[in-house]
Amino acid sequence: MRHTPTGYWLEEAGAVEPAAPLAGDVTADVAVAGGGYLGLWTALRLKELEPGCDIVLLEAGVCGHGPSGRNGGFVNSLWADARVLLESFGREGGAAVYRASTESVPAIGDWCERNGVDAWYLAAPKVKVATTPAQDGAWAPVAAALAELGAGDDVRELSAAEVAGRCASPVFRSGLLVPGSATVQPARLALGLRAKALEAGVRIHEHTRVRRVRPDGTVETDGGRVRAGAAVLAVNSATGAFAGFRNALAVASSHIVLTEPVPDVLEEAGWTGGEAISDHRTLLHYFRTTPDGRIAFGWGGGAMGYGARPGGRLDVDGFCAESAHATLLRFLPQLAGRRLTHAWGGPIDVSPSHLPVFGSRGAVHHGFGFTGNGVGPAHLGGRILASLALDRRDEWSSLALVDPPRKSFPPEPFRYAGGALIRRALIAKDAAEDEGRRPGALTAFVASLPKRLGLHLPR
């Protein structure tokens, strides 16, 4: 098994011919920087609202080849952030954001259907499981917050027997069912969006890195400039490189390994409903299946060291392919002797509040901070940013996610040093709990620091 920079989904979706880089100066109504889900949904929404809108989209690599084409394909609302929504925006504001995020899940499926994009969209429930006694009932505060937001029926507790009915594993205990969820083949969705944006007349330039965005909406690259009435910054983990955003986000990473097709294993475990599963560790494990019976197994919170070794063995945080396989075997012992075929990873744009952030500075409109949950929320982000770019005061641009009170991460070098220390403590805490031990007092204290500082970690 080799670690590849882009992973299985992009390989399965097939190559695309890159669009020509920007060469020279052009004008447009809106310039979009970044061709992931957020930039592409924004461009398509702009065309939907104003078909005559002239849009130039600039992408440093190839659209959809970043995290949007490499993620786990879990399509979630902001249900897991219910507590933060309530605390940050109150009952009414929080409920409006939550409802808007739930609408995006089926809207992505509808869009695929209407546009003939086969992104393997599957309306399948998310199952959050406890895998250690320490995780039992860990979802209770979120379930209570959802009830306060008027959405208590959106989740349902599952007994251990009910969890086993969806996927039998020796380590799965009780859990929480989130029916309004889905999965996609992420790269097929991203490349489908790219194809439809091109068809709609969006002028896409690839291998075109934006170097600077001026407050008047002018966007500068090495090869030319776009003079636009409005600019949209949708560059995910690269946002911190732009003036004024340095401490607005932190960058973590997530990684995935994929098995060979194992339909017999899925059959034996009774995992045939396409459920997207994750545990309740701080640095969570997540699992899903593919139509040909593979299992994608991912985990969050690693370092960025993997990127330096495309083609080499996956080895992040001591979490090499062998240990990924060993972890998978704990969940599904039937996988003994079965091969992992692919491994890959990508950056995660972590927001201090755990919620995505949208807003405007002059004629520049930004969105970032999906914190590992961007497949569904980037669709909502596209609606928000299109309304902001067109200066529309509507239900999207007035959501409380827009221009929230500013929160920042500590500046460097404290962020790197503190982050490394906290990450080590989180790994130690999760490992102790996996082994049925209580973490040591110092580990528990350091692991609790982000919460004490009002920072929310990716799940």
Ligand X SMILES: Cc1cc2nc3c(=O)[nH]c(=O)nc-3n(C[C@H](O)[C@H](O)[C@H](O)COP(=O)(O)OP(=O)(O)OC[C@H]3O[C@@H](n4cnc5c(N)ncnc54)[C@H](O)[C@@H]3O)c2cc1C
Q: Which residues bind ligand X (CB under 6 A)?
A: 33-39, 58-61, 66-68, 70-74, 76, 209-210, 234-236, 238, 254-256, 298, 345-346, 348, 370, 372-376, 378
**Nearest to 228, CA basis, from 42, 18, 38, 57:** 57
Q: Which is nearer to ligand X, 247 or 448 (CB)?
A: 247
* Dist. CA 407–CA 368, nearest whole Å: 13
- Tokens in use for 75? 């399509």
Nearer to ligand X, 55 or 378 (CB): 378
Alpha-carbon dihedral of residues 234, 235, 237, 243, nearest 10 degrees? Answer: -90
CB of 219 to ligand X, least distance (A): 9
Residue type, 291: P
Where are the extended beta strands (E) located within 362-438? Answer: 364-368
Cα separation, 61 vs 296, whole angstroms: 25
Cα gap 264→270, rounded to integer Å: 10
| Shortest distance, position 5 Cβ to ligand X, whole Å | 12
Between 180 and 374, name the residue whose CB sits nearer to ligand X.
Answer: 374
Sign of the alpha-carbon torsion through 389, 393, 394, 395: positive
Judge residue 334's burial from the number of C-beta atoms within 10 Å of its C-beta, 0-12 exposed, 13-18 middle, 19 or more buried. Answer: middle
Task: Give 186 or 450: the residue with its C-beta nearer to ligand X.
Answer: 186
- Residue 80: CB minimum distance to ligand X, A: 10
Could you write out the DSSP letters of every residue in 273-284? S--EEE---SS-
Least CB distance to ligand X at residue 403 (A): 18
Q: DSSP letter string over 113-160?
A: HHHT-----B---EEEE--SGGGTTTTHHHHHHHHHTT-GGG-EEE-H
Our CB check for ligand X shows the closer of 32 and 262 to be: 32
Least distance to ligand X from the beta carbon of 339, Å? 20
Coil/strand/helix, residue 413: coil
Per DSSP (E only), the strands in 337-435 are 340-350, 357-361, 364-368
* Phi-psi map region of 78: left, alpha, beta (phi>0 left; psi -120 to 50 alpha): alpha
Name which of 38 and 145 has its Cβ closer to ligand X.
38
Min dist CB 315 to ligand X, Å, is 16
Min dist. Cβ of residue 427 to ligand X (A): 18
Contact 3, 343 (CB under 8 A): yes
Q: How far is the CB of 368 from ligand X (least distance, A)?
A: 7
- Residue 402 has what DSSP assignment? B
Closer residue to ligand X (CB): 289 or 443? 289
Q: How far is CA 355 from CA 35, 144, 392, 458, in A?
A: 21, 19, 23, 10
CB 373 within 8 Å of CB 353:
no
In the bound state with ligand X, the residue whose beta carbon lies nearer, of 259 and 443, is 259
Q: Which is nearer to ligand X, 134 or 230 (CB)?
A: 230
**Minimum gap (Å) between residue 211 Cβ and ligand X:** 7
Q: Considering the complex, what minimum distance in angstroms separates the CB of residue 232 from ligand X?
A: 11
Alpha-carbon span 398 to 417, nearest angstrom: 37
Q: How far is the CB of 23 from ligand X (least distance, A)?
A: 15
Closer CB to ligand X, 13 or 38, in the complex: 38
Cβ proximity to ligand X, 142 vs 256, nearer residue: 256
**Distances from the Cα of 41 to the Cαs of 117, 196, 356, in angstroms?**
14, 10, 15
